[in-house]
Amino acid sequence: MYSTLFAVSMLASLSSMAIAGSPDGLQLVMVGTAKAAAQKPALDAFFKRYNPGTTDADCEDTQLNINSVYAEPGKAGISPELAIAATTDKKQRAALGKLMSKFRDKTHDRGFDGALVYDVQNDKILLYGISAMSSIKQYVSVLPLSDLQNPKKANLAVCHALVQLPVLAEP
């Protein structure tokens, strides 16, 4: 009995050490182009609905883990032009990554792990998940604008753009 109790207490202490110092979740900056400005309220609604550990955060057997979303990219020195250029140009992606990782303010003490960049083309919203580490693959999700008001479809689209982005360790 005592050996079982000892083993359980050891496992409990090891599991708490495994998460000690682990980052909380993704710290994101959200950047939209001028063409996509009208879609920002629908994306804001996703983040207001977002609740870790629920089906809203479930991405086909992978859990989305977001700590915070910063919706004022200009204050971080990130322009929509740079963000959208980073979706196709490695040099611009590196510049965006540098700005994201160096940003600090009262609510972001370690910069951003990534960006949700969004644009509208041909009646579709394109959602790009871009890591601050430029060597990491970017992810894109495409959704018809008419489906953006459908919470299930919007959740899945945002999730697909972000779920594979890593939480970066403190620099």
10-residue mean pLDDT series, the chain (171 residues): 40 35 78 97 90 67 85 94 97 96 85 96 97 95 95 91 86 49
Domain assignment present for 115: yes
Check if the beta carbon of residue 80 is closer than 8 Å to that of residue 31. yes
State the residue range of the domain holding 73: 26-163
**pLDDT value at residue 18:** 35
**pLDDT value at residue 169:** 63
Supply the pTM of this predicted model: 0.82
**pLDDT value at residue 99:** 96
Distant-in-sequence, close-in-space partners of 34: CB < 8 Å, separation ≥ 6: 80
Domain assignment present for 12: no
Q: How many CA atoms lie within 13 A of 114 on its CB side?
A: 29
Provide the domain count of the chain.
Answer: 1
Domain assignment present for 15: no
